[in-house]
Structure 1
């Protein structure tokens, strides 16, 4: 069987697997059984004459041949969809940019950038979704996102290990902060000493898109076993619990402007600096004009006081 015999369904399934990272997640997204997804991948591998996925305990990873097929699969699927619209007599789609972002960026940065872009370029439509850095990087590779706002922490590795590397730029690099109840004695100062964080209660949650224990929200590097009293994924819930005096949580710099009343966000001194980066990432190669305009709006939003 030649690769030219690959079916459109198999290409769609392959792209979904590449984006979701597991056969199970792809099957759920597509409404297929896992065995049906496996059959489609097997048929595509036979057509390509090579293994396209490396099966691992934590999901799948593209092989070198898989990266080549994914690049072409994304282009083929998009062109077929465009042809279907034209045959149906539908109007051309406006300039659409598909944006992804990590959770806290959606509270302030993304809305501000989209509002500015809409004022300056109302002809550009932006669709978007929230996700973990790993999930957003896979979506960029799969061609289902054009641009993504990512978070990074030391040692600041690339968003993924695929080649060629994603195009990335640093939008900002700032120190992690801690959110404390306004009524807490810690809130009286202009900063918190790291020693004052010992013995405190924490509001935490697992990192988005992982099965890890609840560590997101605890100050890194504490030399004690932290007391986690509440676990929540949603940042609004975490901050509301802080305002109610239930504990402390860490706050990424991008979220600080959105904290509710009853919460103070303070820098931490006396220990190693906890730096966090805000990254803008896109697939390798030149960016379309609409993507470049959205990127500029995001840069401007970061600089807005």
Structure 2
């Protein structure tokens, strides 16, 4: 098969489309003939040499994909060759084929094109596990989403609104804020012009920035608020005012998804299938696709992501 190979850390130009061995299919694996993958920040970090795959994972980038089942291992039930599926991966999505544990595979929701389904697994699993499983967002509460126009942000806006929450986003331009409002956000804050911590009080904050936003996030929390940090685009270190946290009886969680054990990912995937997919089937939640780029030109897709002007997901199509 062909896959995107990273020979050495560097810029987008180090991504090369090459012949590589087919993946081995274990007894509990599903082999997917990949129709599309999607670009995530973790892929760019892996390309730069800053985020190695977990032990035993594929060395190729790509944390999600969609396609058709080509084969199943002897211990797999519920999937068969020809099924239209998408999957949460530990790596290997930038390829023509990928083998993935059956627990991380999902049937494509009704009404979703096979290629656009590649943009659902990572964002749906990230938002469900962090906003609802960890932070326990409830109906009527306020969710603050940093980077509201990102792939994760556009999913968080739609899902929180579907569950009856108020949603506030930060974004870097009027155009991005307008798109978030179209998706259902109640309020948008241009972080380049305003201090979000002066504008909003939130029960749950979904944060991709890390250190740079830590103080502001604590200030913006309501009493009993929950801050969930899922990214470090603003640095890994910040000063935490424990006094402010104590006074608000608030909590800070920091999580990752990629390195979790298969069984933990399986619990998250089942939660997504049970709670998110019906909303997708009903049209209440839709994938937001910014661009489709040939997989062989993954370098261009990385350039688009790193330019920061996109809204939603960037897909890599076979």
TM-score by length of 1: 0.30
Higher helix share: 1
Bigger CA radius of gyration = 1
Higher strand share: 2
TM-score by length of 2: 0.29
Greater relative contact order (Cα 8 A, min sep 6): structure 1 or 2? 1
